[in-house]
Structure 1
Amino acid sequence: MNRTALQKLLKDRRAQISPESRNLPRPTGRGRRAPGLTQEQVDQLLGYPTRTYQRLESGNYPNPPVDLLRDVAHLYGMSEQEWISLCRYARGEDPPGPLHDTAGDAVPGAWADAVAAVNYPAYVTDASWNLLTCNQAFHALFDSGRAPRNTMRWMLLDGRDQLTNWETAWAPLVMPQLQAALAQRPDDKVLRQIENEVLADPLARPLYEAGGASIHPDGDERPIRHATEGPGWVTMCVAQPLTAPGSRFMMLLFRPGARHPSPNPGMLHAD
């Protein structure tokens, strides 16, 4: 727990909400000069016993439940970044999931310019793997000359002709990504529809049901057939736009021909 940071975050956000905006009276007692809601009013609005919030804001609530933190974050209208900070300050860990159902649906427009400036195939998808933006090098990767609207569906269903050794080199690694995403976003209609299509496919279903533990492709090398450059390998570099949990930025380092050792194997460490 970071008590000082927690106190500042909660006190500042509480001060931004006037009691009148929540149909509550503004206390006028002696010495009451602080703006915003009182700590007692926060308990009242959230339906918690008296002094519950006071314990949280003062840093005297060891390992507070996530449900309490989520209720406070919603009341204060926190952003996803503030939600992450709240959980880190109060519990010493990242939240189990995003604060808002719409998290990961959109990224700042500057990402379009950033992706366009990359020489390698690059793109950004939302939390449902819908393509938000990509560069021309990514379009050129596909037989149709156009990138798919959803990269998860393409990897699991539509792109098998281009994904070399799909059953062994791609599917066992991508299927767990879909399962993990649905565990975190069970109401995602796009991902649920992809799952239904996978389960209806006789080749994909047993691989999906087999499960797996690999859910992050960052640094992976996989075989692929480039539409114009022929067979080769891609190394995946993955990052996440911080304002959109669940979205992802992907850069594919394509090398034609037979697999050969990466020029930068292993992990990078500061000296």
Structure 2
Amino acid sequence: MEQRSELGEFLRSRRARLRPEDVGLPDHGGRRRVPGLRREELAQLAGVSAGYYTRLEQGQSPNASEAVLDAIARVLRLDETELAHLRSLARQKTAPRRRPRPERLRPAVRLMIGAFGDTPALIMGRRYDVLAWNRAAHALLAGHLPFEAPEQPHGRPNIARLVFLDPHTRELYADWRTKARDTVADVRMTAVRYPHDAELTGLVGELTVHSPEFASLWAAHPVQDCAVRYTREFRHPLVGAMTLNNEIMELSNDEGQRMAVFTATPGTPSAEALTLLTGQAGGTGRPDGGVQASALKTASARSRLA
């Protein structure tokens, strides 16, 4: 992924969301050729020359100081995550080029996922592939897929693909648009972290071609760690609406791998629905880990009538 272009796109996207009056500049009226602040206006407010800022936006100033980057971030009103992203992009050109190591799931991590029992848990790799999930996570997120799918290196479920290209997943999230934006924002940050990962770059290209929603969000350049949103609203086809806590944790001994765990607040309807769903997944489900839909629907209906 070309980091020079990435840096320019990011800065332009943040300039475009500000108006002159937002930063204390007079608005003399008239139509602007481009939305938002002009390069010259941003440079003036940040205390650098217009030529220097232009070179920075074009990726031709790889040695920009922390003070300059902080000044630009202040004018653009970047939050902490966006500032960290700006610094990563500005330094990317000088970072050593190294190919990411192949992703492997350690046996101990697989055992840990299984130990969660009826609590949905999964391991996601840096390319958003599901490397392992327990039966509860499979029932929650992708009961329409084979339970063994993560065991196939070339056919693993991919969280980003599911969000944008799988109709079942689109229906699963009550606020799909928020989930979609959060996914793109996280992919942006991961792409900067692994700029030489050809498979990750290919994933971005595939989604850009096949999903207009992804392409539109990608062009807006959102950045955000997916771990900052702690709850998700689900509309599960078998047990209905659920509000679940969603904790995402990096595995410190496994570069790029993260664990996602889903829980429900005790005593809530969501907890009852999750118990119903995961109980079927771990008990009377099919040998492949899928849920027996007809039995689960009957149990769900009875619980609502009780």
Superposition TM-score, scaled by structure 1 size: 0.53
Q: Which residue in the other structure is 1:93 paired with?
A: none
Q: Which residue in the other structure is 2:163 paired with?
A: 155
Q: Which residue in the other structure is 1:116 paired with?
A: 114
SS of residue in 2 equivalent to 1:239: strand
Cα contact 1:140–1:227 (8 A) shared by 2: no
For the residues of structure 2 that align with 1:257 and 1:146, how far apart are their CA atoms?
A: 28
Shift of 1:104: 6.8
For the residues of structure 2 that align with 1:98 and 1:238, how far apart are their CA atoms?
A: 28
Q: Deviations over 1:6-64 (max 9, x none)?
A: xxxxxxxxxxxxxxxxxxxxxxxxxxxxxxxxxxxxxxxxxxxxxxxxxxxxxxxxxxx
Q: 2:140 matched to 1:144? A: no
Shift of 1:98: 10
- Counterpart residue identity of residue 182, structure 1: A
- Counterpart residue identity of residue 165, structure 2: L
For the residues of structure 1 that align with 2:105 and 2:202, how far apart are their CA atoms?
A: 23
Aligned length: 165
Aligned positions of 1:54-133 closer than 5 A: 101-103=99-101, 105-118=103-116, 119-133=118-132
- Counterpart residue identity of residue 160, structure 2: M
- Counterpart residue identity of residue 175, structure 2: N
Unaligned 5+ runs, structure 2: 1-91, 148-155, 272-306
Shift of 1:251: 0.5
Shift of 1:219: 5.1
Q: 1:227 to 1:188 in 2, by over 3 A?
A: farther
SS of residue in 2 equivalent to 1:161: helix
Shift of 1:122: 0.4
Say which of 215, 218, 223 aligns to 2:225: 215
Q: Deviations over 1:84-134 (max 9, x none)?
A: xxxxxxxxxxxx999963447123211111101113110112211212111
- Counterpart residue identity of residue 110, structure 1: A
- Counterpart residue identity of residue 104, structure 2: A
Unaligned 5+ runs, structure 1: 1-95, 260-271
For the residues of structure 2 that align with 1:254 and 1:156, how far apart are their CA atoms?
A: 25
- Counterpart residue identity of residue 245, structure 1: E
For the residues of structure 2 that align with 1:110 and 1:178, how far apart are their CA atoms?
A: 27
- Counterpart residue identity of residue 128, structure 1: R
Cα contact 1:123–1:249 (8 A) shared by 2: yes
SS of residue in 1 equivalent to 2:253: coil
For the residues of structure 1 that align with 2:97 and 2:111, how far apart are their CA atoms?
A: 28
Which structure's residues are more often helix, by fraction? 2
For the residues of structure 2 that align with 1:136 and 1:114, how far apart are their CA atoms?
A: 13
Q: Which residue in the other structure is 1:194 paired with?
A: 203
Q: 1:186 to 1:100 in 2, by over 3 A?
A: closer
Cα contact 2:264–2:270 (8 A) shared by 1: no
- Counterpart residue identity of residue 172, structure 1: R
Superposition TM-score, scaled by structure 2 size: 0.47
Q: Deviations over 1:230-260 (max 9, x none)?
A: 221222111122221211011112468589x
Larger radius of gyration: 1
Q: 2:249 matched to 1:239? A: yes
